[in-house]
Amino acid sequence: MIHILYSIKEIKTQYPTGDLPVLVSCSNQNEYICKYMRFDSAAYKLASELIGAQLADFWGINTPKFCFVNIKPEHWKNFNTPHNNSAPAMECFS
């Protein structure tokens, strides 16, 4: 089962790599690095990563925890990026 979480406070950290992932504080009191937030590439990358994570788990390979996070629009206010038009669900790792 894939857990669905939501952001609980404003995002403070964005990483300058690839898809510009962000560090998000979530409803389960943990922080997650979220990526694949733009509509232009999210579905293909998200599906590929989900399949890879599920296969790794099946084969007993240690992988980070996987979940979806809904980031509230008001938690983006520190960033002027295309992520503000993000899909409601995003892939993330703890």
Residue 47's H or E segment, with its range, is helix 42-58
Q: What is the pLDDT of residue 87?
A: 42
pTM of the model: 0.74
8-43 pLDDT, tens digit per residue, is 999 988 888 877 788 899 999 988 888 766 666 667
Could you tell me the residue ranges of all domains in the chain?
A: 3-93
- Check residue 89 and give its pLDDT: 42
DSSP string, the chain: --EEEEB-S---EE--STT--EEEEBTTS-EEEEE--STTTHHHHHHHHHHHHHHHHHTT-----EEEEE--GGGGTT--SGGGG--S-EEEE-
Residue 13 β-bridge partners: 23
Q: Which amino acid is at 32?
A: Y
| pLDDT, tens digit (0-9, with 9 covering 90-100), for 44-92 | 777 888 888 889 889 999 887 778 888 888 888 877 665 544 444 445 5
